Amino acid sequence: MKGRKKVRIAFYLLALGGAALFTFLLIRQGAPQVGAAFASAGWWIGAVVVYHFAVPLLLDATAWWVLFPKPERLSLWQLFWMRWIGESVSTLIPSAAVGGDVVRARLAALHGAPIPTAAASVLVDITLGVFVQIGFTLLGLGLIVGVTGHQGFIRPTLIGAVIGVLAILGFYVVQRLGMFRFIGKLISRLASADDWHSLVHSGQSLDEAIRRLYARRRGVIGCCAWTATSLILGSGEIWIALYALGLRATLINAVILQSMVLTIRSVMFPVPGALGVQEGGYVVVGNLLGIPGDAAFALSLIARVRELILGIPGLIAWQVIEARRLWRARLVASAR
């Protein structure tokens, strides 16, 4: 209980800090100016929403889809809407930064994928995704140095990238060594109960599924390729937002903003919804690219609106799916 209380207090403090930073930046850039810049985007915000749904989200679903062995593979359409729901949960539920990945693994299992394969595919997808994103960060870093000549944050970014690579390699190694069977054994011994011994078998099944997915080189390479394509083409929605605000819309500027803001959000993942952090990232990087602070803040608000427009229906769809499943379970139980 004490541990949960501490986690809850830390969550509230981070949320309060993010809200304070958001408010500070809004006041500093000028709320009327930010509002006017945001309003100038008009219906182009709808184009940003459609683009994200049709391009990055579909490419991310394809990256997940190619990881599945063909006999156990769900349809791309199924994984697409599962990915959409998972992204909605991760984005809009502050305490569920990783919860969306759990939800999509659960949905995949409920719709016919073997449980070990469903869970393993998400873990491998996350691992490879982080690895590819580190490369995308380095690409953005190289571009921003070439465009602006600013080198002040090269060293910390490179240090962070090296640490990230080492961390993801370490996670990959322990996955291959069989970390989940070990965790299951540890809990089983601590519990000293026969009921907990099933964890050992479940962990072993998950470890075997992970090894099987990593052994499929075509799937691993395909996942990395589709993820990289998603990150690069995902910059298109920033390009649309830049154009909508009447700013210098270039592919290089869009890639720089996309890579740097994603990196900042990843590093500051404990902050719920990256509130304030995302806005600060747009303002700082935007200033380096010659984008006024109010317009850079408006870019972040466009991203927030896109998250809400796509995320709220995703959360509703998830609740409907879970409610229908519970209703069917009750009908079956009452029939017995």
Quickly state the pLDDT bin for 154 (edges 50, 70, 90). Answer: low
pLDDT digits (tens, 9 = 90+) for 8-32: 666 667 767 777 877 777 787 777 8
Q: Which of 309, 285, 305, 307 has its CA nearest to residue 296?
A: 285
Cβ-contact 110, 248 below 8 angstroms? no
Could you tell me how many residues make up the chain?
336
pLDDT of the residue at 254: 93
pLDDT of the residue at 166: 63
Secondary structure string (H, E, C) spanning the chain: CHHHHHHHHHHHHHHHHHHHHHHHHHHHHCHHHHHHHHHHCCCHHHHHHHHHHHCHHHHHHHHHHCCCCHHHCCCHHHHHHHHHHHHHHHHHCCCCCCHHHHHHHHHHHHCCCCHHHHHHHHHHHHHHHHHHHHHHHHHHHHHHHHHHCCCCCHHHHHHHHHHHHHHHHHHHHHHHHCHHHHHHHHHHHHHCCHHHHHHHHHHHHHHHHHHHHHHCHHHHHHHHHHHHHHHHHHHHHHHHHHHHCCCCCCHHHHHHHHHHHHHHHHHCCCCHHHCCHHHHHHHHHHHHCCCCHHHHHHHHHHHHHHHHHHHHHHHHHHHHHHHHHHHHHHHHHHHC
Which residues fall within 8 angstroms of residue 166, CB to CB, at 6 or more apart?
A: none
Q: Is the pTM of this model over 0.95?
A: no
For the chain, what is the mean pLDDT? 80
pLDDT digits (tens, 9 = 90+) for 47-89: 999 999 999 999 999 999 999 999 999 999 999 999 999 999 9
Cβ-contact 41, 187 below 8 angstroms? no
Q: Which is more confidently placed, 223 or 123?
A: 223
Quickly state the pLDDT bin for 192 (edges 50, 70, 90). Answer: very low
Return the number of other C-beta atoms located less than 10 Å from residue 328's C-beta. Answer: 10
pLDDT digits (tens, 9 = 90+) for 95-153: 545 678 888 988 998 888 888 888 888 888 988 998 898 889 888 888 887 777 766 65
Locate 223 and state its tokens.
């996942």
